[in-house]
């Protein structure tokens, strides 16, 4: 049996797969196959119209897609009880696989199996205890592969260069990143107060908005500036290294992508230092839209974040906000959810 595949460079493989899936021609019944040291073969049901590729080939002996991680571990002699303790999910970010190995026996064997499942990847990381400290530094360790933690991850056409051992990147925020690109457009002024490597700033700049992106972690800032160039938005994405509470940037839309962004009153070394919400409202024009992220226990949804938002508006002498939308982005921890409130402030 001969089956069709398209040959693409390895760094472009995940972006190409996403595009092929969107186009409806990706054949998920077959595995991605290594073509040579620099290319992979992506299985397709027909030649794509929108996704670029170097050439189409006929595979004489196509590889059926491997059943799943559990089957591969069973082949390695893992018992049912051991397989239950293996990661149940993982994320492929460019050439890096990120998973939680907290209770997993023999992580190296699982890492090797994951690399067999995802030929486009070359490193497997244990995500450890998440992120820590003011700069939200990830706690990761290499489980398998060559250990290269720098990669370029592509989502909905946006390219994110990053080092997963040095800067935070949450796979669970994928839909929110795409949604922010859809929420804005040409002519709009946007302030991203916690930009990181450009999680939200890049999709919004690519949509045509003029974006001011603020980040205080020097490593994340370096990737933010690089990603502005990588995505051809350097002319409309102004990057600032520093504390977002000290930035004067009037905006029609402000993104506060930090769990403690709604934390009540003044924060910092002096009472005169404004809180994050205070600083946001100082920059948000009348009628502007605020996207406020928060981590909230389920029992306090939605009263706690909404009451903090209303209190902040009252402190700033602004009228009560109009809530446009509330969303649960993902589970943050047991009984706690990462949520977003969209509100228009008169």
Top-ranked range on mean pLDDT: pick from 47-51, 61-65, 107-111, 115-119:
107-111
Q: Would the annotation count 318 as a binding residue?
A: no
The model's confidence at residue 332, banded by pLDDT at 50, 70 and 90, is confident
168-345 adopts what CATH topology?
A: Rossmann fold (3.40.50)
Q: Would the annotation count 127 as a binding residue?
A: no
Note the CATH architecture for domain 69-148: 2-Layer Sandwich (3.30)
Domain boundaries, the chain: 3-59, 69-148, 168-345
- Least Cα distance to 221 among 239, 235, 236 occurs for 239
pLDDT at position 186 over 70: yes
- Least Cα distance to 302 among 265, 253, 342 occurs for 342
- Least Cα distance to 327 among 254, 257, 280, 277 occurs for 257
Kindly report the pTM of this predicted structure. Answer: 0.77
If you average pLDDT over every residue of the chain, what do you get?
Answer: 91
pLDDT digits (tens, 9 = 90+) for 240-253: 999 999 999 999 99
Note the CATH architecture for domain 3-59: 2-Layer Sandwich (3.30)
pLDDT digits (tens, 9 = 90+) for 144-172: 999 999 999 999 999 999 999 999 998 88
CB contact at 8 A, 221 and 286: no
The model's confidence at residue 204, banded by pLDDT at 50, 70 and 90, is very high
CB contact at 8 A, 4 and 13: no
Would you say the CATH fold of 69-148 matches that of 3-59? no
- Least Cα distance to 117 among 33, 39, 19, 14 occurs for 33
Q: How far apart are CA 47 and CA 66, in angstroms?
A: 23
Angle between helix axes 276-283 and 303-315 (nearest 10 degrees) is 60
Q: Would the annotation count 303 as a binding residue?
A: no
pLDDT at position 96 over 90: yes
pLDDT at position 268 over 60: no
pLDDT at position 262 over 90: no
Q: How far apart are CA 312 and CA 303, in angstroms?
A: 14
């Amino acid at each position: 049996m001969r089956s069709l595949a398209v040959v693409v460079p390895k760094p472009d493989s995940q972006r190409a797969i996403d595009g092929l899936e969107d186009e409806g021609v990706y054949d998920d019944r077959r595995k991605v196959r290594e073509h040579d040291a620099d290319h992979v073969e992506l299985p397709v049901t027909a030649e794509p119209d929108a996704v670029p590729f170097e050439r189409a080939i006929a595979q004489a002996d196509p590889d059926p897609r491997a059943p799943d991680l559990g089957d591969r571990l069973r082949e390695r002699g893992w018992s049912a009880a051991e397989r239950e303790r293996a990661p149940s999910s993982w994320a492929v970010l460019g050439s890096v696989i990120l998973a939680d190995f907290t209770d997993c026996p023999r992580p190296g064997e699982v890492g090797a199996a994951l690399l067999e499942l995802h030929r486009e990847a070359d490193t497997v990381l244990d995500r450890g205890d998440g992120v820590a400290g003011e700069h939200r530094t990830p706690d990761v360790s290499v489980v398998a592969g060559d250990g290269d933690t720098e990669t370029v991850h592509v989502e909905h056409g946006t390219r994110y260069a990053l080092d997963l051992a040095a800067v935070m990147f949450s796979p669970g925020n994928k839909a929110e990143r795409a949604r922010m690109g859809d929420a804005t457009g040409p002519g709009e002024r946007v302030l991203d107060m916690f930009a990181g490597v450009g999680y939200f700033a890049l999709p919004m700049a690519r949509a045509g908005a003029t974006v001011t992106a603020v980040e205080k972690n020097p490593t994340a800032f370096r990737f933010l500036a690089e990603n502005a160039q990588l995505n051809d938005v350097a002319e409309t994405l102004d990057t600032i290294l520093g504390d977002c509470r000290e930035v004067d940037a009037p905006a029609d839309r402000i993104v506060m992508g930090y769990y403690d962004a709604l934390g009540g009153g003044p924060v910092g070394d002096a009472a005169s230092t404004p809180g994050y919400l205070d600083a946001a409202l100082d920059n948000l024009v009348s009628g502007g839209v605020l996207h406020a992220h928060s981590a909230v226990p389920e029992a306090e949804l939605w009263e706690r974040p909404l009451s903090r938002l209303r209190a902040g508006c009252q402190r700033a002498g602004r009228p009560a906000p109009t809530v446009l939308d509330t969303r649960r982005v993902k589970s943050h921890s047991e009984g706690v959810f990462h949520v977003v409130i969209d509100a228009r402030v008169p």
